[in-house]
Every structure is written in structure tokens, then in C-alpha cells.
Structure 1
Amino acid sequence: MPLPRITHILLLLAGTGLAGCGEPGPPPSAGAAVTAQVNNLAPLLSPQGGRIADALLEVSTLDGQVVLAGRGWDAAGEPLDIDVAGGLPEGRLCRLRASGGELLPAGGEGAALPNDTAPENLVPCTSLQRAAREPGVSRGSGIALNALSSTLLDMLRQRQPLAAYGDRLEVLLDTVAEALAPPQARDFDGDGTISQQEFSQQSPAVYGALSLPRVIERANQVLDSQLASLPAAGKRPNIVLIVADDVGYGDVGAYAGDRGDIATPGIDRIASQGARLTSFHVQPVCAATRAALLSGRYQHDFSLRGAGGPARAGIPRELTLLPEMLQRRGYATGAFGKWHLSDREGFTPPDRGFHEWLGFTGGALPYTAQLRERYAARFPLYRNGELLDGAGGHATDLFADAAIDFMGRHRQQPFFLYLAFNAAHTPLWSEARPRFSAREDWLRRVQDQGISGPRQQDYAALVQHMDARIGDLLDRLDALGIADDTLLFFLSDNGADVSVHESAERPVGSNGSLRGGKGSVYEGGLRVPMVARWPGHIPPGLVVDAFTSAVDLWPSVRDAVGIDPHYTGSELPLAGHSLLPLMGGVASGTPPAREDWFVFPVSGLAVVHPPWKLVLDSQGQRSLYNLQQDPQEQVDRAAEQPQLMETLGRRIDAYLDRELE
């Protein structure tokens, strides 16, 4: 079967070689006409009226006009911004090079290029919907959807009639266009500009990416991958991510069993209808976990540690967050509840991919309307970036109601719902603050269950009511008829606080038999309940014992919605792995190979290379545990494993040295 011909793609032009657009091999007269018109534009390329010595340009024909845009350098090496439209007829030769300060048609001597970038193999182009981006930068966001649409449609027609793809067609086209973007010319010296020398060094790789055989091969590979990974029904799943605050491993019935005091039938329902992950790990404090969930990377990868780092500074804009990835693919996106990833301009939910937002930016929020009104200046509540005054109701109900309403309004399109409860974070009843955050009727229920102690009752009542609202959300999915089309996750952001407060004889929350709690590098601070449901894709009642982590959510969602599995949204590699293979029926027996996993809390440091975990505590002591054999971390195996201690210890030392630089 002959390969279809690419007809639309981006072009880069540089003085070190050739790059082309237009039909290959136009007659010399056409080339001469183009040369004349381009040379007539040359004085405009420099504000001083000079000629460019080298250039990195986009060249495209749009509405009968040839458009050149990008960055050039004059003979002295000074950068020139270029944005010029000239009257060149569509489809004519625009394969150009820069030589001796003038733009010339292709030909003559040039830099050595890879074998398959001979002129006849350079990618032709006849139209391009230009997208806004920085001059000289060409990445996935720089290729508009229709830039490759006609060729990709031809490719898809060879597989099956277009009507058979349904609403998968948009994501297929978008994903392949993104995957075929040429490499970005990088600013190696970090001075904020791409110099003539920097681009000249990189141009062969750029041209290699533009060669026609490579583009066609890559397009077919991506299409094959996407068609294999998209849901058979052709519908992109809704994504629901529910995050609890400070709820421990032993506070959910599906994990605690008969040993637990708190009833969680809603969360248990997700586990019974889907998967229960028994070794799912997060960071030991709030904001660090949320950064990992939404970015797919550990917070130390972008210099944010602990609770305060991401909460103050936010996640760097160059990282594509989960809502941004989905919003760009036609998803309705809504965030309700706790953000805790900066209140700085440019870093709040509306700035980071959410169409709708009702919530707060800090670490805690008073639960009752009366207290929220009293302390509004300290604990502001927002709706879509604007201060919200007079919002009634308990915070748990406020966020749950908004989330359920969001699902109903967007049931006809794919949506991403991020419901981040503040339950069961403080404020809780204390001797210094003898006021309950839970309502009286909720408290009576936990008292009837035999739970004693006012602070413990307050915590348990908040957890149980949150669970009841999760049950309401599940019921609403059923009523809307979209439960089978929804991939849903529930997890806690860290372990429960197991410190003993004031005169209490026992802690409030429970991490079961695990050692430590919130803020700790031991498993009680890191290992949390995590359940997932996707009917028809995740077998009901599945138990996954493999080591998994918060950074795995980003690639899992990417794969579930049918985005190219090579897509990372940034030059910074993803830290996680997709959970879908583990949750598709292959559980603990075949976990993916993992890189070492680091934790940077307020009280120590740990590195995990499953099943081994090396802990550096706040006193500088190092200990080694086998999490598979000893999840309670009771037996230090350091003396038995000197080589492993040295290997993992070097990883910790490298991090500490980097911090001291």
C-alpha cells in the first residue's frame, strides 16, 4: 500500500542548510521569481535596513501569502526579530537558504545534512494555520490541528471509514500533529535567547526531523498506537480525581477491615467495583503531593519541597499540568476545593487549565459558613478567580454540590473533575478551641458507633460525611448514565496525623499498622488509600500490590484518553508510569521497572528502589527496610545489605550535595 503524501507541515529555515515547502522541483522561472521577491523583503528583516547573515524562520503560505516569522542574526551576530508577509503565490517554491547576508533559493553549497534530507525528501507544505508562540520555537503547541489534517485523514481512511472513529477523530489528529512537531531549538547557555551558534549546532537534527520518510513513518506509528489504546467504544472517558486531606490508611474500610472504627461505604464501593492499590505512595505533606499528582513529577524536580514550596511558588509554567493537557483536547475542566499550589497571579486554577473553580488556595479552611465569614480575610474563598462572599453550607457540601452540578452540566462532553476536599484537615475540636467542625447529626452517628473523645469524633464525622458525599457523586454518575464512561480515582494526600494532642490518650487518625504519620518519611506518612474504577476496563475487586505513586496519575490519564504515550508535556521527563497495565487485570506480578523514588519532607529523606527503602531521618541516621516483607519498617536490614546501602546512599548524597551548591 503506497504511503500517503504529507501536504501540510511546519518549516524551519536556517543559514546552515536547507528546509523546504512547496511542491518539490518547481521550474527555475518560479524559483527566480521567488528569489526576487524574497530579496526585495530583505531590507525589512532588519530595523536598521541591513541584511540578515543567518536565520531561523517559519516559512508558510497562508491565504496566498508567504509568511516568514522567526529570529535572525545580522553580520555582527546581533539577534533580529522577524515578522514579514510578502506577496508570494501559494504553492510556489519557498525552499530557501541564507548565505552571504542574502536569502537565496535552494542550491549551491550548504552544510552537510543527513542522507534522507536531500531536497527531494524535504517536507512540502502548501498551507499552515500559524499558531502564536515564541519566535524560533517549534513544538507541539506550535502546529495547529488542521496543519496535518488532510494527510492524516487520508491515513485514517486507509484503516476504516472516518465515520467509524466517532469523537476519537479530534484526539487522533491533535495527538499526531503534536507528536510530529520538529525539535525545539534550545537555549543552551540559558541567557534567554537562541544565538546564531546555538542554532547552527542544532540544525541538522531539526532537518532530520523534517525529512519526509521520517515524518510519514512517525505518523503511522503514532496512529497505530492511538488506535490500539483508545477505548473500543470510541468515547474518551471522563476523568474524576477525588483527594481527601489527611485521611489515613487505617481510616478507610477497604483497608482497615474489621479493625477500623470509621465507616466508608462510598469509598469501599469504588474498591469493590474497581481496584484497590495497597502500596500507593504520596509525599508526606499536602502541597507536595498535589504538585506530583497534577504534574507527573516529584516536586524536587522543579525545586519545590515540603508543604510550603509549591504552596508559595506554584508549579513552573513550562510544565503541562493534567488539566491543561485535557483542556487542550476539548475536555471541560473543573476544580472544587483545596488548591494549595500558590495564590500568585498566573498560578491559580483558572491560570493552570481549569475552566471552572470554586475553592481556596491555602492549606486549610474553616468548615462552617459562620467561621468562613468571620475569618474571610485570612481564609478567602474564590469562584473562578473572584472572591466569593456569603457562600453558605458546610465546606464539604459546598464542594461536593458544585462538583455534582459540574458533572450534570457537562455530561454531553468529556470532562475532568478535580474534587479536593479539605476533610479531614484541621480545624478540629481541641481543648484550646472547643468547637466542632462536624455537624451535630454527624457527630451523633459516630457516637452511636462507639467512637469516643471529642476530637476523634469530630475527625470521624468529617470523614464519614465526606464518604457519604462521594456516594452521592457515584449515584449521580449512575443517574446520568455516564458511570461506564468515567475513570475515577480516590486517594488521600498524605497519611493521617497520629500525634497525640493535648490530654488525649490516642491519636485522631489511623494509619493501621504502618509506622509514623503525616510529615514522616516512614510508611504511615507516605502509603495511603487509593482506589480506582473504570467499568469495562478495570476488573472489579482487583488488588494491586505493586509499588505505585502519585506521579503515576498523570501518565495514567494521558494513556486512558488516548494521547501519544511518548507525550510528556515538557522537556523534563515524567517521573511516573501509567497504572493502566497494572489495573487491567495484571496486578502485583508484573510491576513496571521504576527509577529510585525520593521523598523530601520536613523531617527527613527517603529513597525507594522497590522493594528496598533507605531512610535518612532528621537525626542523620540511615536505615534500610524491605517494604515487601516488612511494610511496618520494624527490621533494619542495613548491616545485611552493605552494597545496596552504598548504592542508595550515593543517591541521597548526590541530592544533598546538589542542595548545598
Structure 2
Amino acid sequence: MTKFRGHIAILIAITGSLLLLGNRHTYKIRPNIIVFLVDDMGWQDCSVPFWSSPTPLNHRYHTPNMEKLAAAGMKFTSAYATPVCTPTRSSMLTGLNAAHHHITNWTSPRKNNNTDAVDEDLSPAIWNINGLSPVKNIERTYFATPFPQILQDDGYFTIHVGKAHWASAGTPGANPYNMGFMVNISGHAAGHPQSYLARENFGNQPGKAVMQAVPDLEEYYGTDTFLTEALTLEAIKSLMAPIRNNQPFFLNMAHYAVHTPIMRDQRYYPEYIHAGLDSIEAAYASLVEGMDKSLGDLMDFLHTEGVAKNTIIIFMSDNGGLSLAPPRGGEAHTQNLPLRAGKGSVYEGGIRVPMIVSWPGITHSGSTSDQYVMIDDFLPTILEMAKVKQTHYQAIDGKSIVPYLKNSNLIDTTRALIWHYPNKWQTQGGPGINYFSAIRKGAWKLVYNQRTGSKELYNLKDDIGEKLDLSKSLPHITNRLSTLLSNQLRSWAAPMPFNKTTGRRLLFPDEWTE
């Protein structure tokens, strides 16, 4: 879509929203909501500690605006996403676990293209390779009502800026306008940018279709504007209309940063080189700080416009930090210490992410919650925040976290969180990568290797790095979690890979016999 067409779309959206003003809620008492979603940001890739004490990584990065947000709101020390991006983004919009909606891996920009790497012994699971769809009967997709559509139907002005990556091109779910958004800037089927540089036209080439090229930002071509900055400027422009009309808004500020390609944001790169980082890690740190500036610019804008006190900000990453080296610098799978492994893994480094919620008048300043929560919880939480009464949407797996936002001391250890990755993400594999499932209940976490049937048990309270496997010494806990995980996967008809020799699907954890 050209920039001109983008402006036309905004004008149409504004006109439509004005027609609703006479018969909707009294807008001033309903909060504005911003989800600030970062791509591939690790749990410790910031100067805000999410552990009991700051780590060396916390001292590496400079994120003053995250610090400001945390000082104003609540940190969640045990917030979880899925191992990779599309499952997280689909769970966020639907309130469903990835094992339930069967979008278990990242989706290709090409329709009907399975993104699983080839495996010598296993055939791919039958998962929804075309992603999420708001329309029924689209092959290899999961049909559901995305919560932005519910918000729009209830009077919210809904805006998407940045990475979408819910579905393959050529399917309805690839277009944010079909997913409940009244404005879309740069969201499409691709999962990363071809380039962060406006000097390179963000990867766009005249007369040539480049799948990862970022759309809608023509006015910045040939300038020194970094992609993160351009998206922020466009988000601020898009917010002007609902603010002027005193209409509540929902902004999905979904940055492409800090996903590969790891490119230098020259505004911040030199300071990290001077601090002694190698060129790759300095570039990565500059992506992080550029993302933080975006957060600060949005917060400053809300204050200037006088709407900060009625705006909720939810900060989250879509999966753990990348720990493959290359493209990261240093030794592989050390980039998220003290957590084990990284993106693509069901170990903590791949799924535990930074999360901050600021809800003026509700969250206590500088508070911390140790309650474990998951991306599936966003739909019920946001609808409760927005005072939406509609219940005519899919049955969900997530639970509202509003009670924890109101009481940081509240802890529920009876809930079980589940991760299911029946896919081959990387040819070379790695710890907890390719064909794994996991379950957490209380402090206990079971990790299940689908290929071998092996099970590992960890006490995360004492062993956040998942170093001491207790499965043999505590078989009763291992078996209990194994059964719980298996029963839930069966209830969702969770996809599993197949043995090429026998043609049979791999076993659920409790189906293995010693």
C-alpha cells in the first residue's frame, strides 16, 4: 500500500469511528491500551533486572525508558511467550495456546509452504502452516476472532504498526485490516525486515517484489531514518485522530527490532563499541536502545497530549533472545544467561521474556509480580481492561491477569502453563530446540523430548538455569506432570511429527513405556 493509500485508509477509519460516537460508551472512562511488542528480545536484554538481582547483561544495555515504565508500573518476573514468533502473535490475538490453535511454527510469506527444516528420521507434524484466519474454511489455518476486532466492534480505534506475521500471504490473516485493525502501517506476511535502513528503502527495490521489504514507509526513503524510528513516527501520527476525537484507542506497536538482520543503529552503535563489545553485539545493543527510545517517545507523546493517565502500556517480547552464533556474537547459547538456551527452545532462555505493565491508578509504582503468566492471557486481560462485555468469541485458554495487577502479592501455583513445539526450527538443533514440549506448574517444570521420549524435571525456584535434572530422584512429580501435559495435548488434538519408517505419530509423554 502506498503512503497516499495509507492516509486514505486512516481518513476512512476516522469517518467510520465518528459515526459510532453517538451510540457507544462514554469514551473518557475507558482506557487507551498500547501493547508494545518487541521481536526476539531476551529476558535480560535491558537495564531492567527481571531476576532477584541485576545480571551482567543488565549492565550491558541502556534502556532508561523501560526503567521509567517499570518504575511507574509492575514487572512480571515469570512472563512467558512461545519459542518462536508466529505462535506467540497468534496466541496473543486469540487467547489460545499454540498447541490448541496448531500454529506451532513461524509461517512463511508463501502460502502452503511448510517452514520446518528437513529431518532424516521424522516427517513434519500437520500444523496450520498458513497461520491465523478471521475467515472460516481457509486451508491450513485456524479460524478465530482476533481481539482487535472485538475492541473495534465495541468502539475502540484500533491501530497496528510494525510486524504482523500472523499468516501467509494470500490468506485473509496476513492483512491487519482483516484482523480488526482500522489502521495498518507496515504489517504484512513477512517475519523480519529486509533492511532497517531508509537509505536502502527498507529493502524495497523498484520493479522487484522483495518478500521481507517493509511496506508503507516511502516518505523516509533515502534518508538516515532507522526503521524503528520511522515506525514510531507513524504510530504517533496515527494516534492523533482518536485522541482528538476523545475516542479510546488500541495500538499494537509491534517492532521488527530486535530481529535479524542485526544492523547498526548509528545513533547508539558507537557507545557500545567504546564499551568494548564486538561489532555484532554492539549492533545488537544499538537495536535494543533504539527500541527503548521508541518506547520513550510514545510515553512522552502521551504526556504531551494529556492522555498518559488514561493509557495502559503492556511491554512484552514475542520469544526469548536469539542465542545462535552466528548471527549473534560470542559462544552459542550463552546470550541469555543465567537462563538456558534461547529462541526456538522450550528451556527458559527461549520462552521467558521481559514484561512490564503500567496501568495508572491500578498498578502500584515500582511493583513486581512473581506470578507466572503467558501470552495466551492477553485477550482476556485486555478485554477486561477495556470493559468489553462481549463473550461471543472462541473458548480461550488464557486467564486475565488483572487480579495480579491489582495485588502484586497474589500467587496462584495451581495453574499449568504448556509449550508445544513439534517442529524442526534449525537444522543443527541445540538445547531444547526441535521437537520438544514442556509444562510448568508452580515451581516445577517438565521438559519432554518428543524424538527420544526423555523427560527432565527442574525446580525453577532453586534452579532457574535448568542445570539439575530431578526426574529420576522425584519420579512422582515427573509422572504427574507427564500425565497432565499429555492429557492437555490430547484434549487439544495437538499435532505431532511422524516417524518416517513406521508412519506413526510420535508418542505423548505418558505413552512411553520404560
Q: Shorter-chain TM-score: which interval?
A: 0.7 to 0.9
Q: CA deviation at 1:442?
A: 2.1
1:518–1:524 contact (8 Å) kept in structure 2:
yes
Rate the CA distance shift 1:568–1:315 in 2: closer, same or farther, 3 A. Answer: farther
Whether the 8 Å contact between 2:413 and 2:441 is mirrored in structure 1 is no
For residues 396 and 311 of structure 1, the distance between their equivalents in structure 2, rounded to whole angstroms, comes to 28
CA distance in 1, matches of 2:328, 2:36: 33
**Aligned 1:453-472 pairs, distance under 5 A:** 453-472=278-297
Contact 2:75 2:367 in 1 (8 A): yes
Residue 88 (structure 2) pairs with residue 289 (structure 1): yes
Q: Which one of 263, 284, 289 corresponds to residue 62 of structure 2?
A: 263
Q: Does 1:352 align with 2:179?
A: yes
CA distance in 1, matches of 2:161, 2:334: 24
Shift of 1:593: 4.1
1:373 and 2:179 aligned: no
Out of 280, 287, 290, the residue aligned to residue 79 of structure 2 is 280
How much has 1:316 moved relative to structure 2? Answer: 5.2
- The offset of 1:592, in angstroms, is 7.2
Distance change in 2, residues 1:276/1:476 (3 Å):
same
Report deviation, 1:295.
1.0
Give the corresponding residue for 2:426.
Answer: none
C-alpha distance in 2 between matches for 1:611 and 1:337? 35
Aligned to 1:600: 421
2:132 aligned with 1:314: yes
8 Å contact 1:168–1:235 — kept in the other structure?
A: no
Residues 472 and 321 (structure 1), Cα distance of their counterparts in 2 relative to 1, 3 Å cut = same
Q: What do the CA deviations read for 1:342-378 (whole angstroms, capped 9, x no partner)?
A: 1334212000100000113211112113151237523
Q: How far is the alpha carbon of 1:645 from its aligned partner?
A: 2.0
State the one-letter code of the partner of 2:158: T
Specify the alignment match of 2:40 in structure 1: 246
- Give, in angstroms, the shift of residue 301 of structure 1: 1.1
Where does residue 158 of structure 2 map in the other structure? 333
Residues in 2 aligned to 1:601 and 1:528: alpha-carbon distance in whole angstroms: 21
C-alpha separation between the residues in 1 aligned to 2:276 and 2:380? 40
Which residue of 267, 270, 287 maps to 1:444?
A: 270
Q: Is the 8 A contact 2:265 2:290 kept in 1?
A: no
* SS of corresponding position for 2:261: coil
Q: Does 1:530 align with 2:391?
A: no
The partner residue of 2:404 within 576, 582, 593 is 582
Q: 1:379-426: per-residue Cα shift (whole Å, max 9, x none)?
A: 24344xxxx656533211121111111222221210000011111111
Change (3 A) 1:353 1:310: farther
Relative distance call for 1:641 and 1:442 in structure 2 (3 A) is: same
Query: Does structure 1 conserve the Cα–Cα contact (< 8 Å) formed by 2:34 and 2:252?
Result: yes
Alpha-carbon shift at residue 236 of structure 1 (Å):
0.5
Name whichever of 546-555 and 391-400 sits farther off: 391-400
SS at match of 1:528: strand
Q: 1:551 to 1:171 in 2, by over 3 A?
A: farther
* Match status 1:484 vs 2:295: no
Change (3 A) 1:503 1:380: closer
Question: TM-score, normalised to structure 1's length?
Answer: 0.59
Task: Please name the residue that 1:228 is paired with.
Answer: none
Q: Which residue of 1 aligns with 2:454?
A: 621
* CA distance 1:615–1:315, change in 2 (3 Å): farther
Give the conservation status (yes or no) of the 8 Å contact 2:322–2:328.
no
Q: CA deviation at 1:616?
A: 1.0
Contact 2:40-2:259 within 8 A present in 1 as well:
yes
Structure 1 contact 495–518 (Cα < 8 Å) conserved: yes
**Alignment partners' CA distance in 1, 2:332 and 2:314:** 27
Distance 2:212 2:363 in 1: 39
Counterpart AA for 2:63: T
Give, in whole Å, the separation in 2 of the partners of 1:512 and 1:484.
36
Query: How many Å separate the matches in 1 of 2:494 and 2:204?
Result: 45
1:591 to 2:412 alignment: yes
Contact residue 458 and residue 468 of structure 2 kept, 8 A: yes
The verdict on how the C-alpha distance between 1:406 and 1:310 changes in structure 2, with shifts beyond 3 A counting, is farther
Contact between 1:289 and 1:494, CA under 8 Å: does it hold in 2? yes
Match of 2:368 in 1: 543
Q: Is 1:630 the counterpart of 2:466 in the alignment?
A: no
Runs of 5+ unmatched residues, structure 1 = 1-166, 173-232, 429-436
Q: Distance in 1 between matches of 2:392 and 2:408?
A: 28
Q: In 2 relative to 1, CA 441–560 (structure 1 residues): closer, same or farther, beyond 3 Å?
A: closer
Q: Is the 8 A contact 1:497 1:509 kept in 2?
A: no
Alignment partners' CA distance in 2, 1:504 and 1:236: 45
Q: Which residue of 2 aligns with 1:413?
A: 247
Amino acid at match of 1:401: L
For 1:459, the aligned partner's letter is Y
CA–CA separation in structure 1 for the residues paired with 2:320 and 2:267: 27
Aligned to 2:24: 170
Once the two structures are superposed, residues 120-173 of structure 1 have per-residue CA deviations (whole angstroms, 9 ceiling, x without a partner) of xxxxxxxxxxxxxxxxxxxxxxxxxxxxxxxxxxxxxxxxxxxxxxx998359x
What's the offset of the Cα at 1:650?
A: 2.7
Distance 1:601 1:262 in 2: 34
- What TM-score do you get using the length of structure 2 for normalisation? 0.75
C-alpha deviation, 1:532, in angstroms: 0.7
Q: CA deviation at 1:632?
A: 1.7
Q: Which string of whole-angstrom CA distances, capped at 9 and with x for unpartnered residues, describes residues 527-567 of structure 1?
A: 00000101111111110001111111111111111123xx5
Q: What SS does the corresponding residue of 2:302 show, helix, strand or coil?
A: helix
Code of the residue aligned with 1:528 in structure 2: it is V
Q: Which letter maps to 1:363?
A: G
Unaligned runs of 5+ in 2: 1-20, 108-126, 136-142, 424-433, 496-503, 506-514
| Matched-pair contact (CA < 8 Å) for 2:280–2:328 | no
Structure 2: distance between partners of 1:272 and 1:299? 32
**Is the partner of 1:250 in helix, strand or coil?**
coil
Aligned equivalents of 1:503, 1:649: Cα separation in 2? 34
How far off is 1:627 after superposition? 2.1
- The one-letter amino acid of 2:230's match is L
Any idea what the Cα deviations from partners look like across 1:309-339, whole Å, max 9, x if unmatched? 6673324544221211110011111101101
Structure 2 letter corresponding to 1:325: I
Deviation per CA, 1:605-651, whole angstroms, max 9, x where unpaired?
11222222110135432111122332221222212332332232234
Q: Which of 481, 497, 502 is residue 648 of structure 1 equivalent to?
A: 481
Q: Does 1:422 align with 2:256?
A: yes
The whole-number CA distance in structure 1 between the counterparts of 2:462 and 2:371 is 13
Asked if 2 retains the 8 angstrom alpha-carbon contact of 1:299 and 1:310, the reply is no
Aligned pair count reads: 418
Q: Is the 8 A contact 1:287 1:311 kept in 2?
A: no
Measure how far apart 1:457 and its partner are.
0.9
Instruction: Give me the whole-angstrom Cα distance separating, in 2, the residues matched to 1:630 and 1:525.
Output: 16
State the distance in 1 between where 2:129 and 2:233 align.
Answer: 26
1:212-263 CA-to-partner distances (Å, cap 9, x unmatched) read xxxxxxxxxxxxxxxxxxxxx9610001001111111111111263622010
AA partner of residue 35 (structure 2) = L
1:246–1:494 CA contact under 8 A, matched in 2: yes
